[in-house]
Homo-oligomer: A and B are copies of this chain.
Amino acid sequence: MSLVQEARRRRVLEAAIDLLAEVGWERTTMAAIARRAKISKGLISYHFSGKDEVLTQVVETIVSEVFLRGSERMQPRIAAETTARGMLRAYIESNLEFVAEHWREMRALSEILPNLRDEEGRLRYDVTAEEPIIAATAAMLEHGQRTGEFRDFDAHAVAFSLRRAIDAAAHRLAADPTFDIAHYASEIADLYDQGCRA
């Protein structure tokens, strides 16, 4: 893959992410992506097999590059904690710090995931796509239950609601740039900290 090819593909993917985050799925057309990337429409077809590949590449790029950095940011913060309570708070606050920096990518993902379909009309990424993330959070909560720090609750249900609370911050931030996400993180951490305690 030549430097030009790499640069063009990157440029197209960036334009697609921008548009998905700013104007949503429906208005993210090939023409709009080309306009935003300052290239002609046909050039996208030269570098990608079609719209499908562009959006698939957006997902893969975000998952493999952005989420990797998110993981690198969150893991040490969580691992540094000795208590399950501390881990939960570190998880919530570091995850929301990550959202604050990468809400564009998260918005783009949340536009693609429920909309991108294959030829037969089936969703390319179905609703179970986020299950591993929720399961990982639930495992952390269950650890706290085993140590006796957390009361007996349905860890999956609580992890699910926590995931929604975190994802919602990306939507909110996209719609209202003045949204104080650090304050929100602190409040959500307090809520779940006290709500999970034994």
| A residues neighboring B (CB under 8 Å) | 24-27, 114-115, 121, 126-127, 151, 153-154, 157-158, 160-161, 164-165, 168, 172, 175-176, 183-184, 187-188, 190-192, 194-197
Contacts and interface: CB of A to CB of B under 8 A. Distances in A.
Contact of A24 (B27, B114, B126, B158): B114
A52 B57 CA distance: 34
A87 to B, nearest CB: 17
B127 A176 contact: yes
Counting chain B CB atoms within 10 Å of each CB, the highest count among A183, A184, A191 belongs to A191
Contacts of A115: 24, 26
Nearest to A27: B121
Contact of A164 (B27, B126, B153, B165): B165
- Majority SS at the chain A contact face: helix
A158 B190 CA distance: 10
A154 B176 contact: no
A184 B164 contact: no
B164 A168 contact: yes
A184 B168 contact: no
A151 B190 CA distance: 11
Nearest to A161: B165
Nearest to A191: B195
28 contacts: A24-B114, A25-B26, A26-B26, A26-B115, A126-B175, A127-B172, A127-B175, A153-B187, A153-B190, A153-B191, A154-B183, A154-B187, A157-B184, A157-B187, A160-B168, A160-B172, A161-B161, A161-B164, A161-B168, A161-B188, A164-B164, A165-B165, A190-B195, A191-B195, A191-B196, A192-B195, A194-B195, A194-B197
